[in-house]
Amino acid sequence: MDGPPSFAEAIRAVAGGLREDARSHAHLNRAAARIDDLGRRLHGLGYVRAREMADCFTAALADLDAAHALAEETRAEAMRRAAGRLDDALEHAAAGVLPVAT
């Protein structure tokens, strides 16, 4: 069974935003807030690999946190790394959700 399509789309949207050229602190903060929200929403959705997805979100947040200390010109790599972590979360999401017990 597949997971909620809007959840996967939200992950893709954040990853895409991190690949954009904007590297301001505000951009990093917005992305981190969206990832945090995804992590909070993840609980209870029933993904088979929810723990792995949560680990990807946590790693992406760590990448974004570390990016704040970098000069704006050098933040792109940290942001790409965070986007890659979200891509990894999408791969785990592709495993689907547990069937609803009846």
> Which residue in 23, 46, 45, 26 sits closest to 34, CA to CA?
26
Q: Which residue in this structure is represented by tokens 């009846």?
A: 102
Task: Please say whether the beta carbons of 63 and 37 come within 8 A.
Answer: no
Tell me the mean pLDDT per 10 residues along the chain, length 102: 76 94 89 96 92 98 95 89 97 88 65
pLDDT of residue 29: 95
Q: Which residues contact 68 (CB under 8 A, 6 or more apart)?
A: 25, 28
Whole-number pLDDT of residue 4: 63
CB contact at 8 A, 6 and 93: no
pLDDT of residue 44: 84
Residue 56 tokens read as: 């990807």
